[in-house]
Chains A and B, each alone.
Chain A
Amino acid sequence: MNHQIISLFIDDELTLNEKIEFVEEVHGSKPFKDEAIELLQQEKLLRSDPVERIPERKLKTSRPHILRFLRPVFIAATAAAATLIFVFFPFTPQQTPETPYRFVVYRPDVSRVEIAGSFTGWNAVPMKRVGDSGYWEHTINLPQGEYRFSYLLNGGERLPDPTIPTREKDDFGSENTILSIGGRTT
């Protein structure tokens, strides 16, 4: 018996005759049945979500189209404009003021807490345990604006900040905290 039929079963590629053959084999051969179960379990794992959450990427609905033959002209014009601006307007770098913001959460019952938010590109950043107080903290410099974030407990469970009431549901059925710094809302 060619065990390749197990993969055809997993991928819904069996013909009716092959389905009959498969069922008979499952009932008649324990090694065949065991291999089928093992491969099905493996496939279940393989088809599960690889990551806690996929990265936040906005759908780019349009981007500038520059005709190929115009590109050198465009580049030259941009360079000339940049030079003029540089000559006629003194260059004064503008910096967006950033304020250190300390995130604190009380979870004495977990071994790892991370924070993931729009300010980390939704990457999980480990928080630091504050002694044996049960508190976890992480400080980050943030400019004025509105941010979304949530805590990750033990690398899995997500927890919105219990001290901030403004929240919104995300696409994954969890809630994110909405944090507004400097009173600005977008």
Chain B
Amino acid sequence: MSEYGLFYRDCRNRIFNYLMRLTGDYGMAGDIMQETFTRHLEHYGKDNREIPLLYRIARNLFTDEWRRSKHFAAGEMEGEEPSIDQEHRLMVRSEYRSVLSAMASLEEDEREILSLTAGGDLSYTEIASLVGISEANVKVKVHRARLKLKKLLKEGDG
């Protein structure tokens, strides 16, 4: 396996998991994850190993390609017309389904910031630069989103 192949193998999970938390859509997360590495390789070469850059590419792809549809699959899990098929939904770990449903109920910016911090790869400074807000704002938003998620998870349990 090439060195870039090893980098891909090491990093694909974290980019996929970020996209999964962000979109709640198994197929979409897989597609954007694949395209992220393709673009990274094309534009930055096989020697680049910047993980924050991968997040940036993935986020841009998500914004460009999918955000306009205002689509979040997990929010449709209980709906009448689910946009992802049954097989894809089965791939979501049962204990994580409530998390994705709660994430779907967050505001877009809250979901985004929690998806980024949950990866554990990016500092607040890097997240601020990526999202285009101040670091102080990141601090406020992260905590506010966590409290909201806690409330939603509790409501889901009840």
Contact = CB atoms under 8 A, between A and B. Distances in A.
A3 B143 contact: yes
Contacts of A123: 85, 87-88, 90-91
Nearest to B85: A123
Interface in B1-50: 4-5, 8-9, 12-13, 16-17, 20-21, 26-27, 29-31, 33-34, 37-38, 41-42
Contact of B92 (A38, A45, A51): A51
Contact of B38 (A38, A46, A60, A125): A60
Interface stretch (A4-12, A68-76, A85-93, A97-105): A4-12
B124 A4 contact: no
Query: Taking chain A's interface residues, is the majority helix, strand, or loop, or is none over half, making it mixed?
Result: loop
A123 B34 CA distance: 17
A114 to B, nearest CB: 7
B139 A155 contact: no
Contacts, number: 113
A13 B21 contact: no
B21 to A, nearest CB: 6
A155 B95 CA distance: 11
Interface in A29-66: 38-39, 42-43, 45-55, 57-61, 63
B83 interface: no
B146 A7 contact: yes
Interface in B43-94: 85, 87-88, 90-94
A51 B16 CA distance: 10
B91 A48 contact: no
A171 interface: yes
Contacts of A78: none
Given A46-B114, A50-B20, A171-B9, A13 B150 contact: no
Nearest to B39: A60
A120 interface: yes
A7 B139 contact: yes
Nearest to B9: A171
Contacts of B153: 42
B93 A4 contact: no
B12 A54 contact: yes
Q: Give the size category of A's interface with B.
A: 35 or more
Interface in B80-131: 85, 87-88, 90-96, 99-100, 114, 117-120, 123-124
Contacts of A155: 90, 93-94
Contacts of A53: 91
Nearest to B119: A47
A55 B8 CA distance: 14
A45 B17 contact: no
A179 interface: no
A124 interface: yes
Contacts of B143: 3-4, 6-7
28 contacts: A3-B143, A4-B139, A4-B140, A7-B146, A10-B146, A38-B150, A39-B146, A43-B146, A46-B21, A47-B118, A47-B120, A49-B13, A49-B96, A50-B20, A50-B93, A51-B91, A52-B91, A52-B92, A54-B16, A54-B30, A55-B16, A55-B26, A57-B31, A59-B38, A123-B87, A123-B90, A156-B93, A171-B9
